[in-house]
Amino acid sequence: MLTTQYPPVPESYCDYNGHLNEGYYLVMLSLATDTILDAAGLDEAGRTHHQFSAFTVQNNLRYLKEVQQGQKVVAHSQLLSSDKKRLRIWHELRNEDSTEILAAVECLLVGVDMQTRHSAIWPEPIRKAIEALQLSHSIMDWPKGAGNSIAMPEQGCSA
């Protein structure tokens, strides 16, 4: 897994309930997406050279535990699958001092030719880097919750 380090959660990221505002979970985890893209050769230099990037087209974010102001957290990221145009990524926001998962997001990204701003197949060097990353992550267990969608019981409350 790849990791992304963060500074302690600032007060400006917290809401009136005294914990990390829901939007900032995604802001922080989107930085973890950049960690994956950097490893795939889509860092700033790669994006400029190839005139190519990746756009997020879907996220499924789960809030599992409260994150408090000043708390130190880290993201663990895994490339779940890929094809000629897409990446499926899993990120877990964890407490820096434990293996407790605080939030998780599954993301679907599509490769984009920045000259046309339309989806396109990965440039060959990027494709090779993605394949190498995919191979190294394929030995990891599939994360619990990956592929799940939002659901509610049809009747009543399940609490």
CATH classification of the domain holding 106: 3.10.129.10
**Residue 131 backbone dihedrals phi, psi, to 5 degrees:** -60, -40
Measure the CA–CA gap between 104 and 112, rounded to whole angstroms. Answer: 25
Sign of CA dihedral 22, 24, 26, 32: negative
* Below-70 pLDDT ranges, the chain: 98, 152-153, 155-159
Measure the CA–CA gap between 51 and 49, rounded to whole angstroms. Answer: 6
Q: What is the pLDDT of residue 148?
A: 87
Measure the CA–CA gap between 139 and 142, rounded to whole angstroms. Answer: 9
- Residue range(s) defining the domain that contains residue 43: 2-137
Residue with tokens 């939007």: 23
Q: Is residue 155 part of a domain?
A: no
Q: Is residue 113 part of a domain?
A: yes
Residue with tokens 């396109």: 120
Q: What is the pLDDT of residue 99?
A: 77
Please give the tally of structural domains in the chain.
Answer: 1
pTM: 0.91
